[in-house]
Amino acid sequence: MSHGQSRDASRISDRTPAGQAGLSDPATTIAFSEAQLGEVRRLQSLYPDARGALLPVLHMAQETFGYISLEAEEYVASLFELSPAHVHEVVTFYTLYFRERPGRHVVAVCHNLSCHLAGAPGIIAHMKRKLGIDPGETTEDGRVTFLTVECLCACEAAPMAQVDDRYELNLTPEKIDRLLEGLR
Amino acid sequence: MAEIVLMRNFANADSHTLGAYRGGGGYAAWDKARQMEPAAITEEVKKANLRGLGGAGFPTGAKWSFIPKTHTGPVYLVVNADEGEPGTFKDRYLLERDPHALIEGMLIAARAIRCTKGFVYIRGEYVQPWRRFSAAVQEAYDAGLLGQGFDVVVHRGAGAYICGEETGLLSSLEGKKGWPKIKPPFPAIKGAFGQPTIVNNVETLCCVPPIIARGAEWFAGLGTKTQGGTRMYSVSGRVKKPAVYEAPVSVTLRQLIEMAGGVSGTGRLKAVVPGGGSAAILTAHEIDVTMDVDGLKAAGTMIGSAGVIVMDESVSIPEALMVLARFYAHESCGQCTPCRESTGWIYKMVHRIVERRGHKDDLDTILDVAKRGAGTTICAFYDGAVGPYVSYIEKFRSEFEALIPHA
Amino acid sequence: MPKLTVNGKEVEVPAGTNLIEAARAAGVEVPHYCYHAALSIAGQCRLCMVDIEKTPRPTIACNTVATEGMVVNTETDRVRETRKSMMEFHLINHPLDCPVCDQAGECFLQIYYMKHGLYDPRMKDEKVHKPKAVPLGPHVILDAERCILCSRCVRFCDEITHTGELGIFSRGDHSEIGLFPGHELDNKYSANVVDICPVGALTDRDFRFQVRVWYLDTAKSICPGCARGCNIEVHVNRRRPHHAEGRRVARLKPRFNADVNKWWLCDAGRYGYGFVDAPERLLMPARRQGGASSDVTWDEAIAAVVEPLRRLPPDEIGIIASPKMSNEDLFALRRLTELRGIRHVASRVPPRVPGDEDNFLIRADKNPNSLGAELIGLGADARAVIEAAGARRLKLLWIFGHDLLAGALPERDVLEALRVVDTVVFTGSNANWTSAHSHWVLPAAAWVEREGTYTNFEGRVQRFRQASEPLGQSLAEWEIVARVLAPLGEAPTATRAEHWFRQLASSVPAFSGLSYQLIGDAGHPLAVTGAASR
C-alpha cells in the first residue's frame, strides 16, 4: 500500500487514536480549580514571557481533563491571551498531547533503529495480535492505546516501550503478555 | 584502566541524593568556582578543550565567550536535556543517577556567563529522569545552593525530536512549536525570550565540575590534542553488552565495540553508526578511528551524540535506512521547504525499495535530492538526515540494487 | 548608507536594508515566496539564496543585511542550481491543479518554474493529500494541498490585523494551514491574504472560476468606499464577455501607496463594486409621469433641466450634490451655481447609522470626496435644502446620487419635499427610491467607467482612471453639467475631466499648483491641506 495514503501509525496523529466506539465522554467542565489557576500563574511567572508556561499548562490540562479537546485548547488560550489557532498549532505539533481521550493505559513501542535491530517488528506484531488493534488505535474496552513511537533513548535495553509514565525494557512476547495482563 | 569521571558516582544506589553527592566530593568545585572571576572560569573550560557533547562538538569555552560583554539585561543558561538522537541514552543516565552533577555544572557555568536563571528542558517522555532531577533541584534549593543568585526552572517537553536542536528548543521553551530560529542572530546574541543565551548539553555541563576541581590540563590531557576529557558512549545494536561506556575521547571505535563485548548476532561486523542516527555510517573496515570530534570528521562522519549502533552481517542496510528515513519524515518540523518536502518523499522511495517496488532511478534520485538539499535549510536537522541517506546508499549500494527489479 | 555591489552594479541603500530590497534597488529581482516587506522575516522558503563574496555557501537574501563593500551575485551557476533545487522541493507535493486553479497566470510557482526551474519532474510517488476547497470565511477559500507553507497569511493575521486566526498545524509534510476548528476568517481585511498568497492556496470566493486572469485589463483607480481613498487596480474582463454572466469588473486589487494604504485594502472596499454591474443601473435618460417611466433622449432630458434653470429665480432652485462625486464633477457644478447664483447648495447627508471606523484603514465617512466637496464650496448639510423644499420655497431640486430616505434626514421631510417640488431631477448611476420619485432621471456613469480625482480625508488628491465604458447612455456628472451649462450661455471649454481639473486648480486656492501630472499614480497633497476655500 502506498505510504502516503496508509494509516501510518508513525504519524503525528498517533495521539488521535481511532477505534473509540463505545467510549462516551462524561461531561467534564473544562475549567481549572482556583488552586490550579494559582499554579498556572506561578508557572507563568517563572518565564520572562508568560507564554513559556504554555507547554507545562497543556500538560496540566491533559492530566486534569484526560486529553486536550478543542474546548480545552480555547480555555488554555484564554489563560494566555493567545489566539486559539496558536494553541492548536502547539497541540498538533507535539506527540505527547492527546486530542481524543486515550485508553486508560498507553503502550508506546519504540520502532527506531536499535529497537528495530533488537526485534521491535516482532514485538509490534505480537501486540497487534494480542490486542486486536493496529498502532494508533485503542482497544474497544478503553483499556489500552497502542502506539509506535520514535527513539525513547533506552537503546541499551531494546526492544522497549513506554507504558504510561515508565519504561518497560528488554521486551519479549512473554513480558508483553504479563505486562498487558497487569493493565486494568 | 582509563579514568572514570562522568560515571564515577553511578555505582552508588543513592547517587542521585545530595548527601551521596556531597559525600563523593560534590559541590567542592562550585565552592572553588565561587572564588574565581567569571572570565577565569571560561578560560579554564577553554584550556580544557571541552567540546559540546550533544551533537555539534562546538568548543564550550568559546561558546560561553560569545555572550556580549556590553549586555546589561538578563542572560540565560539553557540545558538541553531533550535527548532524542537514535542510539543515544547517556543523558538519561546522568539525569537519573547524578542530577547534582548537572546542577553543580549549571552553577559554575552560570557564574561564568553572569547568568541568574537557568532552564532545564527535559524531553517529555523522560518522566522518571524528570522526577529525579526535580527532586535534586528541590534538595539544592533546600540546601541553599540554588536560590542564592541562581534559579533553575525545570521544563518538560511534549514530544518532538527537533526540540533537541538548540534554537528549536528555545522556541519550544518560549511556548511555541519547536521551530528552529533563523540564524543570524545566534543564541549567544539573541536567544531565549530575545536575550543572550547559552545552550549546553547535559553531559557537557557535567564535565565542568571535574574541570574546575581538577584543572584544565588534567582534563585536556585525558583526550586528544583538540578535544579533552572522557565521554559516555552509548553502545547498542548487535553487541553482546549494550550499555553506556565511559572512555577517553581518544578511544577507537574498535576498542569501544570490544568494551561492549564484541559483535553479537552472526558475530561478524558489517557496519557501525558512530555518532547517533544522523551520523554517516562506517563499514567494518573503517573502525580504527578515534571517537573524537575531529577524528570522525576526518573520517567523513561525526561523533555527534556518541550513540554507537553496531550492525552485524545479518542486518539489512536498506531496512535500517528505511527505519531512519521514517524517523526523519516523522520528526521534520515542516518549517522550511527542502526538509519538509523531501524527508517524506525520500521515505516513500526507500520504503518502496525495501518492499521490492523500487524504480531503477530511485537510488540516484535519493542521492541527488539529498545533496541538493544539504546546506540549504534553517537548521542542521536535514544535514543529519543526509548523513544516512547518502552514506548508506553509497557504501552499500549493491545491497539496495539487489532489491530493485531490473536495477 | 552602505554601498554594495549586486551583479557588478554598485548601489547605495539605507542602513538595515536586506539583500532582496538592495538587489531591487540595483534593478535585480531575487525570487522569493515567504518574504514580504510588510511582514516579519520567516526565512522558510529558501528560494531567495544569493552568493555573497567571502561566504562559503549561498545565503538567504531576506535575512541578510546589506553592509558596506558587500559583493553579491545572484546569477552564479551555484545560485541558479540552488534555485532549481528549491523549485523542485516546492513542487514535490504540489498538486497539478493549474487547469482548475484561479491563480494560473499569476502564480509564482508557474512563473518561477518557467524562469528558474525547467527541470524534468521525478516525483513518482503519491503526493500528500490535504483538504481542498475549504471556505475559511465569507471571502477566502483554502486549498491546503496547493499551499507552500510560506506563512505569509499567518503572519498577516498576527502582525497586520492582530487577529491571529490562521496557524500552521501538525508538522513535516503533513503541515497544514488552517483555522482553529469551527472558527472563521472574518476580520475586515481577510481578503488581503489572497493577494499575498503566492500560489492558489488562498483564493477569492467572489472571483472563483469567474475568468482567467490573462483576459483581464487593469486600470489604476481609487476605492470610493470611504474617505481613505485606498489605491487600487480595477481588473475588468473585456475580452471574454460570455464568462461571468457579462460581469465586467472582475475584481479589485490593492495598489501599493506608502502614504495611504500601503499594500492593503479592506474587504468592504474590495467587494463594494457590485453596484456597477447590477440590474439597477440607470441606462437611459428617463421621464416619470403619472407613475410611469419612459425613456427620452439626452437632448430632451437636458432641455427639461435647462428650462427651469433658466426661468426660475435662483432662490427657487436647490442642488444636493454628493460627496461621492469627483472634484471635476463638483467643480463643474460649482460653475453652474456661480453662473445662476444658486445658493441652496449642499452635499452632506449624514448616515442613519454611523459608519464603522478602525485604527487602520477604515474611515467612518463612507464617501470618497467629502473634503473635496467642502473645499469646492458645496459641502453644506442637505437638511437646509430639504427644509426649503418642504416649505415650498423651491421649484427645482436637482439631486445627485443620494437615496434621501437612506440617510438620517427625517423621512417625513424627504417625502414632503419630493412631493411638493415641481421638478425633481435625479442624476446617479443606480436606481433607488429617490430616483423612482423624481421627474427626470439622468443616468450617471459609475466611477470605473470614467476618470477623475477624489480628495481623501487627509487632503491627498488622487486620480482614478477609466477601466471600462459607461453603461448604456450614462455620462460622467461633469459631462452632464457641461451640457446644461452650454445652453445657459456658458459653453465650457473643458471637454475632458483633466480640463475641469485645471480650471479647478486655478480657481480654488486649496488646489492651486496641482495637475494630473503632479498627482501621478501616488496622489499629491493639497496646497493648503484642510483649509476651506469658497
The pLDDT-based confidence of C492 (bands split at 50, 70, 90) is confident
Question: Tell me, what's the pLDDT at A27?
Answer: 58
How many whole angstroms separate alpha carbon C220 and alpha carbon B53?
61
Partners of C319 in beta bridges: C345, C398
Domain residue limits, chain B: 18-222, 230-312, 317-401
- List C residues 143-182 in contact with A (Cβ-Cβ < 8 A): 163-172, 174, 178-182
ipTM for the predicted complex comes to 0.96
Q: Which chains touch C (3 or more CB pairs under 8 A)?
A: A, B
Task: Say which CATH architecture domain A22-93 belongs to.
Answer: Orthogonal Bundle (1.10)
Nearest C-alpha of chain B: how many angstroms from C209?
Answer: 29
Q: Do B174 and A49 lie within an 8 Å CB cutoff? A: yes
Q: Does A74 touch chain C (CB under 8 A)?
A: yes
- Is C440's pLDDT higher than 60? yes
Q: Residue B82 and residue B84: Cα distance in Å, rounded?
A: 6
Once rounded to an integer, what is the mean pLDDT over residues A30-52?
98
State in words which class domain B230-312 has: alpha beta
B269-273 β-sheet, strand order: B243-248, B230-237, B307-312, B269-273, B282-283
Q: Do the Cβ atoms of A156 and B242 come within 8 Å?
A: yes
What is the C-alpha separation between B218 and C163, in angstroms, rounded? 58
> CA geometry: angle at C238 spanning C232 and C243, to 5°?
105
Structural class in CATH, domain B18-222: alpha beta
Give me the phi and psi of B385, to 5 degrees please: -70, -35
Q: Alpha helix (H) ranges present in B90-161?
A: 90-97, 99-112, 127-142
Distance CA C110, CA C104 (A): 8
User: Rounded distance, CA C469 to CA C477, Å?
Assistant: 15
Residue B32: what pLDDT?
Answer: 98
What does the pLDDT read at residue C242?
Answer: 75
Gap from C149 CA to chain B (nearest CA, Å): 8
Which among A3, A5, A88 has CB closest to C180?
A88
A24-to-A27, A73, A99, B347 alpha-carbon distances in Å:
9, 20, 15, 37
Please report, to the nearest 10 degrees, the dihedral formed by the alpha carbons of residues C495, C500, C503, C507 taken in order. Answer: 150
Express each pLDDT in C195-240 by its tens digit. Answer: 999 999 999 999 999 999 999 999 999 999 999 999 999 999 887 7
**Cβ–Cβ under 8 Å, residues B187 and B167:** yes
Q: Is the pLDDT of residue A23 over 70?
A: no
For residue C80, what pLDDT is reported?
Answer: 97
Q: Could you tell me the pTM of the whole model?
A: 0.95
Q: How far does A89 lie from chain C, in Å, by closest CA?
A: 5
First to last CA, chain C: 47
- How far apart CA B54 and CA B161 sit, in angstroms, is 13
Query: Mean per-residue pLDDT for C441-469?
Result: 97
Which has the closest alpha carbon to C227: C343, C372, C53? C372
Per-residue confidence (pLDDT) for residue B254, from 0 to 100: 98
Residue A56 to residue B156, Cβ atoms within 8 A: yes
Element (H, E) at C382: none
Cα–Cα distances in angstroms (integers) from residue B231 to residues B50, B109, B303, C266, in the given order: 10, 19, 11, 61
CB contact under 8 A, A155 and B277: no
Q: Is A117's Cβ below 8 Å from some Cβ in B?
A: yes
> Could you tell me if residue A106 is left (phi over 0), alpha (psi between -120 and 50 degrees) or otherwise beta?
beta
Residue-averaged pLDDT of chain B: 97
Q: How far is A164 from chain C (nearest CA, A)?
A: 23
Q: Which residues of C touch B375 (CB under 8 A)?
A: 57
Q: What average pLDDT does range C117-122 have in this prediction?
A: 94
Chain C residues in contact with A84 (beta carbon < 8 A): 180, 183
Q: How far apart, in whole angstroms, are the C-alpha atoms of residue A172 and residue C54?
A: 57
Closest chain C CA to residue B359: C124
Closest CA of chain A from C179, distance in Å: 6
Q: Which of B158, B164, B175, B167 is nearest to B276 (CA)?
A: B164
Among C89, C124, C148, beta carbon nearest to B373? C89
Q: How far, in Å, CA of A66 to CA of A56, rounded?
A: 15
Chain C environment of B373 (Cβ under 8 Å): 85, 89
pLDDT at res. C527: 79
**B156: nearest Cα among B180, B134, B185, B184:** B134
* Closest A-chain CA to C164: A83
Kindly determine whether residue B320 and residue A47, on different chains, have CB atoms separated by under 8 Å. no
Residues 104-133 of chain C whose Cβ lies under 8 A from any Cβ of chain A: 125-129
Give the pLDDT confidence score for residue C245 in this predicted structure.
72
Name every chain B residue with its beta carbon within 8 A of the beta carbon of C50: none
**pLDDT band for position C490 (cuts 50, 70, 90):** confident
> B365 vs C63: CB contact, 8 Å cut-off?
no
Contact C89 B341 (CB under 8 A): yes
Residue range C27-54, pLDDT digits in tens = 999 999 999 999 999 999 999 999 999 9
Report the DSSP beta bridge partners of residue C216. C237
> Is the CB of A90 less than 8 angstroms away from the CB of B153?
no
Beta-bridge partners for B248: B230
Residue segments in chain B with a per-residue pLDDT below the cut of 50: none
Nearest CB partner across the interface for A112, out of B173, B177, B323: B323
* Rounded percentage of chain C residues whose pLDDT exceeds 70: 98
What are chain A's partners, defined as 3 or more CB pairs within 8 angstroms? B, C
Other Cβ atoms less than 10 A from the Cβ of B87: the count is 31
Q: Which helix (H) or strand (E) holds B298?
A: helix B293-298
What is the pLDDT at residue A15?
Answer: 54
Q: Is the pLDDT of residue C445 over 70?
A: yes
Distance from CA of A170 to the nearest CA of C (A): 31
pLDDT tens readout for residues A144-172: 999 999 999 999 999 999 999 999 999 99
- How close, in Å, is residue B55 to chain C by CA atoms? 22
**B326, B347 in Cβ contact below 8 A?**
yes
CA-nearest residue to B241 within chain A is A156
Of C125, C169, C182, the CB nearest to A92: C169
**Do A2 and A40 touch, CB atoms closer than 8 A?**
no
Side-by-side strand order, sheet with A105-110: A137-138, A144-149, A105-110, A161-163, A166-168
CA dist., res. B386 & res. B363, Å (int):
13
Comparing CB atoms, the residue among B153, B177, B324 nearest residue A46 is B153
For A14, name the nearest residue in chain C, comparing CA atoms only. C170
Closest chain C residue by Cα to residue B183: C63
Report residue C409 as a C-alpha cell. 434626514
Please, are residues A19 and A137 in contact by the beta-carbon 8 Å criterion? yes
How many angstroms away from the CA of B336 is the closest CA of chain C?
4
Among chain A residues, the shortest Cα distance to C158 is held by A83
Could you tell me which residues are beta bridge partners of residue A163?
Answer: A107, A166
The band of A24, judged by pLDDT with boundaries at 50, 70 and 90, is very low
pLDDT at C531: 42
Provide, as residue numbers in chain A, all residues whose Cβ is less than 8 Å from the Cβ of C126. Answer: 2-5
* A46-60, A133-147, B230-244, C279-293: segment of lowest average pLDDT: C279-293
Residues paired with C397 in a beta bridge: C318, C424
Q: Is the pLDDT of residue C451 over 50?
A: yes
Choose the mutation target among B117, B120, B330 for the interface with A, i.e. most A CBs under 10 Å. Answer: B330
User: For position A29, what pLDDT does the model report?
Assistant: 85
> For chain A, what is the largest distance between any 2 Cα atoms, rounded to a whole number of angstroms?
51
Chain A positions in Cβ-Cβ contact with residue C128 (cut-off 8 Å): 4
- Residue the block writes with cell 415650498: C392
Q: Which of C45, C63, C124 sits opposite B359 (nearest CB)?
A: C124
What gap in Å lies between CA C409 and CA C419, rounded to an integer?
15
| pLDDT score at B105 | 98
Residue C98 in grid coordinates: 493549474
User: Least CA distance to B260: which residue of chain A?
Assistant: A156
Interchain CB contact of A83 with C (< 8 Å):
yes
**Res. C491 pLDDT band, cuts 50 70 90:** confident
Say if A85 is an interface residue toward chain C (CB within 8 Å): yes
Q: 3-class DSSP state for residue B21? A: helix
CATH number of the domain at B317-401, out of 2.40.160.20, 1.20.1440.230, 1.10.1740.10, 3.90.1170.30? 1.20.1440.230
* Contact status, residue B204 vs residue B53, Cβ threshold 8 Å: yes
Domain range summary for chain A, segments of one domain joined by +: 22-93, 105-181
What is A105-181's CATH number? 3.40.30.10
Task: Name all contacts of C471-474 with Cβ < 8 Å and 24+ positions apart.
Answer: C471/C277, C471/C281, C471/C283, C471/C445, C471/C446, C472/C281, C472/C282, C472/C283, C472/C284, C472/C443, C473/C283, C473/C284, C473/C285, C473/C298, C473/C443, C474/C281, C474/C282, C474/C283, C474/C429, C474/C443, C474/C444, C474/C445, C474/C446, C474/C449
The three three-digit cell numbers of residue C9, written as one number = 552594479
